[in-house]
Amino acid sequence: MRVLVGITGGVAAYKAAEIIRELTESGHEVRAVPTLNALRFIGAASLEALTHNSVHVDLYSDVEEVRHIELAKWAELILVAPATASFLARTVSGVADDLLGNIVLASTAPLVVAPAMHTEMWQNPATMANVVTLRDRGVLVIDPAVGRLTGTDTGVGRLPDPAYIVQSALSKVVAKDLANKSVLVVAGGTRESIDPVRYIGNRSSGKQGIALVEEAIARGAKVQLVAANVAYYSPEAVITNVVTTAELEVAIDALGTAFDYIVMPAAISDFRLENPNSSKLKKSTTGARLELSLIQNPDVISNLSKKIREVNPSAKVVGFAAETVGGDELLDLAKGKLIRKGLDLVVANQVSESLGFDNDSNQVILIDSNSQQLVSGSKRVIAKAIFDAINR
C-alpha cells in the first residue's frame, strides 16, 4: 500500500523514523511529508534514507509538479504521527497553509492521526472538541499513551509505540468488502400534500441514510439512494429525489430488484390525504375547525421485500423501528416488524423530541431472527455495524 506519513513539529517526531521503518519492512511504499517545524526534530536526510524517496516540505518548490495534488492522489492512506494540537485544529478548520495541510485537504485517502502533546494540551476542551469532530468525520484518532513526557512530567499525551500506530493505521483502511454489491438506501421522510403550500411531514433528517450511503461507498458498493426530502449529493451514488410516499413507491418500483442489500431508514408517512386540495385552504372557507380525511399508504418495505425475494433469495432487507417506548416493549415491537415485514434485520431505537432525530449520534439495537446487538455512536458507526451484520 502507498502510505503518506505526515510528521508535525513535536519532540516525538523522531519516532516517525521507526514508524516508517515498520511500514517499509512490511512491504509498504512510504513517502514522508514533514512540516517545517517537524524538521527542527528530525532531518529530511533521515526520512529520505528510510523511505527511499525524496522528501518535500515546501508548497512552493517544484510548483510545476503540483506536488500537493500529486501526493494527495498518490496516497492510499495518510498517517500523521506525531500530530500536534495545532495540526488537529488546522485540520478541523480545513486550513491549508503548508504542503501537509494541502495534501490532507486535497486527498480522499483515509486519514489516521496519532496525537502527542502534554497532558494539559490534550485535555484542553479545544483539543478534545477537535478530536470529536475529526472522529465524527471518519478520521481515526489514535489515543495517546500514558507515560513519561518531555521534561519531568508524566501523564497521558505520549506517542504510542510505533508498531501499535502502524497496526492501527493499517486496520483503518477499509476492506472493500462490498465491492461487488449493489445497495439501495431509502432515506429521509416523505411529505403528504394538504394543499399546494402545506404538508404532513415528520422529523427525519436523513442523516442515518447519508451515513449508510457513505459507508457503502467507502466499502466499494454500487449505491442507489432514494432520498425523500433530503438535500444530499455524492458523485459516487445514483440519487433519485422524491417528496411523497406515492413518488417513493414509483421510484423504487422503477429501480427493479437487482439489489443485494436494501436498507430503509426512511420515515415513510403511513397516511396521505384522501383528497389533497388543489388550491390553498383559506380560513374564510374552512371556518374554525378543519378536518382532514387520511387514508393509509402501502407498506413499501413489506412489498419490496416480498418482490425481491422471488427473484433474489439471498438479498438482505433492513428496516428500522423508531418507537417512543424502550426496553422489552421496544424489542417486542421491533421483532414484530421483523416478521411482519419480512426483514432480515431491524434497527430499533427509542425516539423522543430530543432523542434520535436530527442528532449526529444515536443508540440502536440490531435485531435479527436469532440475535441482538446494541450499537451506540455516530450514525456512521451505526451504518458500519449494519453492513457488518448483513455482510457476514
Ramachandran quadrant class, 358 (left: phi over 0; alpha: psi -120 to 50; beta: rest): left
Q: Does 268 bind ligand CTP (CB under 6 A)?
A: yes
* Cα 384 to Cα 211: distance, rounded to the nearest angstrom: 9
Return the number of the residue (124 or 359) whose C-beta is nearest ligand CTP.
Answer: 359
H or E segment at 105?
Answer: helix 99-106
- Least gap, CB of 34 to ligand CTP (angstroms): 49
> Total number of residues binding ligand CTP (CB under 6 A)?
14
Binding ligand CTP (rule: CB under 6 A), the pick from 70, 76, 270, 368 is 270
Return the number of the residue (17 or 351) whose C-beta is nearest ligand CTP.
Answer: 351
Q: Does 264 bind ligand CTP (CB under 6 A)?
A: yes
Return the number of the residue (8 or 297) whose C-beta is nearest ligand CTP.
Answer: 297
Cis amide linkage into residue 82, ω under 30° from 0? yes
Hey, is 296 helix, strand or coil? Answer: strand
Gyration radius from the chain CA atoms: 25
- Least gap, CB of 356 to ligand CTP (angstroms): 12
Return the number of the residue (134 or 343) whose C-beta is nearest ligand CTP.
Answer: 343
* Cα 356 to Cα 330: distance, rounded to the nearest angstrom: 14
Q: Does 248 bind ligand CTP (CB under 6 A)?
A: no
Return the number of the residue (80 or 348) whose C-beta is nearest ligand CTP.
Answer: 348
- Least gap, CB of 284 to ligand CTP (angstroms): 35
Q: Determine contact, residues 336/299, Cβ cutoff 8 Å.
A: no
Q: Tell me which DSSP letter residue 40 carries.
A: G
Q: Does 141 bind ligand CTP (CB under 6 A)?
A: no
Q: Which stretch binds ligand CTP (CB under 6 A): 127-135, 159-167, 174-182, 264-272?
A: 264-272
- Least gap, CB of 250 to ligand CTP (angstroms): 14
Cell of 356: 434520535
Residues 11-30 that bind ligand CTP (CB under 6 A): none
Query: What type of residue is 214?
Result: E
- Least gap, CB of 303 to ligand CTP (angstroms): 8
Residues 292-331 that bind ligand CTP (CB under 6 A): 297, 299-301, 319-322
Q: Does 184 bind ligand CTP (CB under 6 A)?
A: no
- Least gap, CB of 217 to ligand CTP (angstroms): 21
- Least gap, CB of 299 to ligand CTP (angstroms): 4
Residues 29-68 that bind ligand CTP (CB under 6 A): none
Cell of 339: 416478521
Question: How many other C-beta atoms are found inside a 10 Å radius of the C-beta of residue 368?
Answer: 17
Return the number of the residue (221 or 347) whose C-beta is nearest ligand CTP.
Answer: 347
- Least gap, CB of 308 to ligand CTP (angstroms): 13
* Cα 150 to Cα 153: distance, rounded to the nearest angstrom: 7
Residues annotated as part of the active site? 202
Q: Please list, in sequence order, all residues whose beta carbon lies within 8 angstroms of the beta carbon of residue 233, skipping any fewer than 6 positions away.
A: 239
Return the number of the residue (78 or 317) whose C-beta is nearest ligand CTP.
Answer: 317
Concatenate the DSSP letters of all residues of 139-158 into one string.
Answer: -EEPPPEEEE-STT-EEEEE
Return the number of the residue (259 or 320) whose C-beta is nearest ligand CTP.
Answer: 320
Q: Does 136 bind ligand CTP (CB under 6 A)?
A: no
Question: How many other C-beta atoms are found inside a 10 Å radius of the C-beta of residue 155?
Answer: 15
Question: How many other C-beta atoms are found inside a 10 Å radius of the C-beta of residue 297?
Answer: 18
Q: Determine contact, residues 366/372, Cβ cutoff 8 Å.
A: yes
**Residue length of the chain:** 392
Hey, is 188 helix, strand or coil? Answer: strand
Q: Determine contact, residues 312/306, Cβ cutoff 8 Å.
A: no
Mark 340-369 with x for binding to ligand CTP (rule: CB under 6 A) and - for no binding: -x----------------------------
Q: Please list, in sequence order, all residues whose beta carbon lies within 8 angstroms of the beta carbon of residue 52, skipping any fewer than 6 positions away.
A: 24
Q: Does 266 bind ligand CTP (CB under 6 A)?
A: yes
Q: Which residues bind ligand CTP (CB under 6 A)?
A: 264, 266, 268, 270, 297, 299-301, 319-322, 337, 341
